[in-house]
Amino acid sequence: MNRLKAGILFGGVSEEHPVSVKSAQEVARHLDTGKYEPFWIGITKDGAWKLCDGPEAGWEAGRTVVLSPDRSVPGLLVLDDGKYETIGLDVVLPVLHGKFGEDGVVQGLLELSGIPYAGCDVPSSALCMDKSLAYVVAGNAGIATPNFRIVRAGEEVEGLTYPVFVKPARSGSSFGVSKVSGREELAAAIETAAQYDSKVLIEEAVDGSEVGCAILGSGPELFAGEVDRVALSHGFFRIHQEDNPESGSENSTFIVPADIPAETRARVQETAKAIYRALGCGGLARVDMFLTGDGTVVLNEVNTLPGLTSYSRYPRMMAAAGLPLPDLIDRIVAGTAR
């Protein structure tokens, strides 16, 4: 049987570079090399592309490689001493997070190259990356969203009801996010968020539990993983901010399946599917939501290339639904046809 030539992108120039490398390491541990011939393409923090043996230590010393923009040569150009060799690819699996990974940029490059790739397409990736635009589209589809406004650094803001959350509108994880309890904290929080994005989002604090749902597939038939709930001991949930996330978070644990009634669980899953469809998602995404005391499900954000590390929520939710990571990878790759 001919193995599928799979290019696996990891690393990247965003703040989530280390998480991406860990995700790729987990993929490497579970990838069926009887089915796939992997070509590991690491992107350094400076943006250099390196063809390497895998995402282990020292991968940055790999050979220089670029993605061919020529559709007649759909694959990689490996550069060496002024010469190049070509490597054809059947599919690309981006294991990238944050800016230049799940915001439509690399997806556009792959579209130009004509190589099938896993995950959401250009429009849905860009839309989900911008939380304010995602709220507008989801709200017009009848889905509950937080009240919000957009500001710029140095702008005077009046009329807020505290507490509020201040965050970069287009950034991943919890980088640059602050919970603001009063006006005297607002300016500093806006400046912090502006370090990650010129567009800053101020949104109301939703009184409810944080829940999530992993979604897989495209079209009318979607597979939903088990719902999880983020149990907080104090503060607010700050994903990927821990020094050693493998050992757990200092203020949060994940309950999978979520300790909520079956009827509520089904409502969360159906709302996640509705959000996924409204935003045009395909392939995979993790939909994060709030569950309020009266049972309302409110959109928080959508992660179009969620983490695949040993401690990440997406693979945990899928495993709890009977889809372990090797099978999950197969399903993700199988959904790349466009």
Instruction: Give catalytic status of residue 45 as yes or no.
Output: no
Over residues 160-181, mean pLDDT: 89
Full DSSP string of 262-281: HHHHHHHHHHHHHHHHHTT-
- To the query of whether residue 240 is one of the catalytic residues in this protein, the response is yes
Report field, pTM of the whole predicted structure over 0.85: yes
Judge contact between 272 and 303, C-beta under 8 A.
Answer: no
Q: Known catalytic residue: 286?
A: yes
State how many domains the chain has: 3
Catalytic residue among 98, 212, 307, 335: 307
Q: Predicted confidence band at 297 (pLDDT cuts at 50, 70, 90)?
A: very high
CATH of the domain at 100: 3.40.50.20
238 is catalytic: no
Whether 246 and 136 map to the same domain: the answer is yes
> Which one of 36, 117, 311, 314 is the catalytic residue?
311
Of 204, 230, 247, the last residue of a domain is 204
Would you say residue 250 has pLDDT above 70?
A: no
Answer with the one of 164, 187, 204 that is the final residue of a domain: 204
Residues 216, 174 within the same domain: no
The active-site residue, picked from 17, 97, 170, 229, is 97
Q: Is 211 a catalytic residue?
A: no
CATH number at residue 235: 3.30.470.20
If pLDDT is split at 50, 70 and 90, which confidence band does 244 have? low
Whether residue 65 sits in one domain with residue 20: yes
Are residue 137 and residue 51 in the same domain, yes or no? no
More confident residue, 115 or 233: 115
One domain, residues 241 and 194: no
169-173: average pLDDT: 81
Q: Known catalytic residue: 311?
A: yes
Tokens for 280? 């045009």
CATH number of the domain bearing residue 199: 3.30.1490.20
Active-site residue (options: 273, 286, 313, 316) = 286
Which of 240, 265, 313, 316 is labelled catalytic?
240
Tell me: do 105 and 138 sit in the same domain: no
Q: How confident is the model at residue 243 (pLDDT cuts 50, 70, 90)?
A: low
The residues, ordered by sequence, that sit 6+ positions from 271 with a Cβ below 8 Å of its Cβ are 143, 287, 289, 297
Here the tokens at position 178 are 């602050």
Same domain, 74 and 130: no
Instruction: Please state whether the peptide bond connecting residue 146 to the residue before it is cis, i.e. omega within 30 degrees of 0.
Output: no
In 3-state terms the chain splits into helix, strand, coil percentages (rounded to 5) of: 30, 30, 45
* 199 Cβ contact partners less than 8 Å away, ≥ 6 residues apart: 130, 132, 150, 152, 168, 169, 170
> With the CA atoms of 272, 274, 279 and 281 taken in that order, what torsion angle do they form, in degrees rounded to the nearest 10?
70
Same domain for 154 and 138, yes or no, is no
Assess whether 157 and 137 both reside in one domain.
Answer: no
Q: Do residues 91 and 169 share a domain?
A: no
pLDDT at 239: 56
Indicate the average pLDDT of the chain: 91
55 with 164, same domain: the answer is: no
Q: Are residues 217 and 157 in the same domain?
A: no
Q: Which domain range does residue 171 map to?
A: 148-204
